[in-house]
Amino acid sequence: MDGMGKPMRRGVLRRSLFAGIAALIGLATAAAVPMAVSATVTSSSHASAAATYVPPERTLRLGMVGADVLALQQRLAQLKYYPGPADGTFGSDALEAVWAFQEVQGIGADGVVGPMTGRALAHPRTYQAHDPGGGSLRVEVNLGTGVLILYNHGQIELISHVSSGGGYYFCNPGGGCAYAITPTGTYHTTVYVPGWVTVPLGRMYNPVFFIGTAYAIHGDTDVPLQPVSHGCVRVPMDIAAFFHTLVTTPGTPVYIYG
């Protein structure tokens, strides 16, 4: 749930959101899911990543290029953090993957691969499932850590940085006000709508809804380290390009916790 507006009751806001988005449901069904740019986190270009990672001798950051950046990309992909193409260029995709890795490792997320992050990459801490019995295919969203974890056959297939509800009070242009909160609890995917979708609160890319047609996991060009959404779970655009192909819609369990 993402946008701006005028004061009204929260219930009116929610009904207006459902009405606005419901008209879009006919645009897509699970059977109409397009092929993803990259349907898997571990492509053949990543499969050759060494089993043992050697931390870089220099500090790596956005914009750098080189063999050590390529090794970083391969290592992140090996650990299921999607860094984009393994091309030896430290771009925004790799930056967001480093954020997610640092968030899971409990390292201050700054996107810079210095000595501490390098050592953690060599000896990473495995993410501990919150709902291990919740289904072999499931999504967990840890609001406190700021990550999404996708499990397939009970194994981690993808870990992504997210930005969730910012907690501020906002109003919808079409009427209704509420607090920007991502609701915790157990849900299921409901519908996927391809491409850019315009709703009363803004735009979302490739949304996979998990509460009716009001709250979604969706792509956005702005997925900062801070929680800033109106309640939806934002993921980076590169991940939103294929995330919908990794889940079943409707029906995949979605566990959201703080």
The string of pLDDT tens digits covering residues 129-149 is 999 999 999 999 999 999 999
For residue 51, the model assigns a pLDDT of 61
The string of pLDDT tens digits covering residues 164-209 is 999 999 998 878 899 999 999 999 999 999 999 998 888 999 999 9
- If DSSP codes are grouped into helix, strand and coil, which group holds residue 211? strand
- Classified by CATH at the fold level, domain 10-36+129-257 comes out as L,D-transpeptidase catalytic domain-like (2.40.440)
Across 1-5, 27-31, 148-152, 238-242, least confident range? 27-31
For residue 99, the model assigns a pLDDT of 98
Domains of the chain by residue range: 10-36+129-257, 44-122
For residue 36, the model assigns a pLDDT of 33
Mean pLDDT on 207-235: 97
Q: Which CATH number fits domain 44-122: 3.90.1200.10, 1.10.101.10, 3.40.920.10, 1.10.3090.10?
A: 1.10.101.10
**pLDDT beyond 80 at 21:** no
**pLDDT beyond 80 at 18:** no
Q: How far apart are CA 158 and CA 142, in angstroms?
A: 14
Where is pLDDT greater, at 1 or 197?
197
pLDDT confidence band for 219 (50 / 70 / 90): very high
**In contact, 5 and 173? CB cutoff 8 Å:** yes
Terminal Cα distance for the chain, rounded: 18
**pLDDT beyond 60 at 37:** no
| Helix residue spans in the chain (DSSP H) | 10-22, 44-47, 67-78, 92-105, 115-122, 237-243
Mean pLDDT on 235-241: 98
For residue 184, the model assigns a pLDDT of 98
In the chain, count of helices (H) and strands (E)?
A: 6, 12
For residue 199, the model assigns a pLDDT of 87
For residue 11, the model assigns a pLDDT of 43
**In contact, 257 and 130? CB cutoff 8 Å:** yes
